[in-house]
Amino acid sequence: MRQAPRPLILGIGGTPRAGSSTERALALSLRAAAEAGADTLLIGGPELMLPMYNPGETDRSPEAARLVDAFRRCHGVIVASPAYHGTLSGLVKNALDYTEDLRTDDRVYFDGLAVGLIVCAGGWQAGGQTLATLRGIAHALRGWPTPLAAMLNTSTRLFDDAGECLDLSSKFQLQAVGLQVVEFARMKIGARVTSAAPPHAPIAGPDGPSRLSLSRG
């Protein structure tokens, strides 16, 4: 029996502070993706302290080159951002700007990829505005935002010191985002494998090759 494909799910986001609520939320979502059979890669806030994106520059820093390579290799993306003044952080926006290096690739930007979205905010209004902005960015990058996103209100303590989520509703949202990205990515990989497979050879009968049946028993 052929094993189910193992998609690579890339998680980017957080804040410059390691272990922020946003980064912990992203890690929980990626953990759910891994438990569903995906390979995962987390590029957290401190690793996103990149030079401001310059489209005319060809000599990328090692950190920026690693991010762009991860964009190219992944089968799904989860983006997590804090809400700063009603929108995503400059740190996360700058990281997403590096997708412009994929503009001439066979797969441009996030074309056809599932994009899970996570927002951490100190109130619901800022969270809703930021989530709407992230959905718009995902569409602009030709990605498919998953039906469910995670919007967390960090005005109360959501994570313990070990990174476990203390709120069941938030935990469910984060796990669901990871699972939906994996499910969509696996479907895309399966469709690509099927379309690339060579046609079946004709089945030989007593009077020579017969027509192939469309049903497979």
Tokens linked to 3: 């094993």
CATH of the domain at 204: 3.40.50.360
How many domains, in total, are found in the chain?
A: 1
Residue 174, domain member (yes or no): yes
User: Would you list the DSSP string of 44-107?
Assistant: EGGGG-PPPP-TT-----HHHHHHHHHHHH-SEEEEEEEEETTEE-HHHHHHHHGGGGGTTSSS
Query: What is the reported pLDDT for 194?
Result: 44
The parent domain of residue 115 ranges over 8-210
Higher pLDDT: 212 or 49? It is 49
Q: For residue range 151-162, what is the model confidence (pLDDT) as tens digits?
A: 999 888 888 888
What is the rounded CA–CA span in Å between residue 109 and residue 118?
19
Could you tell me the pTM of the whole model?
A: 0.85
Phi-psi region of 19 (alpha: psi -120 to 50; beta: other; left: phi over 0): left
Residue 3, domain member (yes or no): no
